[in-house]
Structure formats: structure tokens, C-alpha cells
Amino acid sequence: MSTAPEPADRPDEASGVLKAMSPGVVDFLFRQLVAGEPPEDRRWQQEGTALSAQAPGAELARRLAETDLDALTPTELFNYVRAAQRLAAWAEGLRQTAVGRYCAAPHGTAPSDAASHSLGARPLA
């Protein structure tokens, strides 16, 4: 007979929703519950543009890169993922525009050759 506790009895092996949330988020949600407040931190929304309303571009990329994912509530994490998807779609649009211009370059001269000659660089042949 083994005296080792079952996995469900081990406190370090959380399951379900608690496994997906950091201790900071669990603590925040508990304090909100005790205070009778909603589970979202509404104060940060007063400090500026919410991620869900931020236009795609460099500022959104910076904010996403600087966000501590472990500190987000499930709702904030959902908004983070949606903002990242909007940013990816915007970047894909930029890529497609650039590919379209590259493919529309005059035949016989690659855009990179024309650019290097205009900068005074020698061809590598």
C-alpha cells in the first residue's frame, strides 16, 4: 500500500480553472468577491485606451509585448488574445501589400537590384 497522496489531494497540482490562473489573479478575484465587486479591474480602463479599442499598429504591438500575461484576469486575457489577432491581421495586410508591390515591379529588374544601384552598391556577381 502506498501512502502517497492522490493527485487531487496535492495542493501544488491544481486542476481546471485554477490551473490556468496565476496566484496573483486568484488573489485579485478572491478580494473582488469578498468586496462584492465585479471580477474585472475597472480602474485600468480609466487610465487609457483599452486593448479591445486600441487601433492596430506600433502602439498596440508595444502594449501587447509589455503586458504581464500572468497578471491578467480571464476576461482581460480574452481581450489580449483578440487584440493580438487584430494586430496579426493588420500585419498580414501590410505583408500582402508589400508582396503585391514586389510582384508588380517591372520585369527584368528585381526591386532589390534597383534599390542597391540607387544606393551606389555593387552587384554581388
**Separation of alpha carbons 121 and 115, rounded Å:** 9
The string of pLDDT tens digits covering residues 1-59 is 555 555 555 555 555 555 556 677 777 778 878 888 776 666 656 667 888 888 999 99
SS3 content of the chain, % helix, strand, coil (to 5): 60, 0, 40
Q: Please write the tens of the pLDDT for every residue from 84-105.
A: 999 999 999 999 999 999 999 8
pLDDT of residue 113: 55
Q: What is the pLDDT of residues 59-92, one digit of tens each?
A: 999 999 999 888 888 888 899 999 999 999 999 9
Distance, in Å, from the CA atom of 53 to the CA atom of 60, rounded to the nearest integer, reads: 10
Is-contact 75 40, C-beta < 8 A? yes
* pLDDT reported for residue 94: 96
pLDDT of residue 82: 95
User: What whole-number distance in Å separates Cα of residue 119 and Cα of residue 113?
Assistant: 10
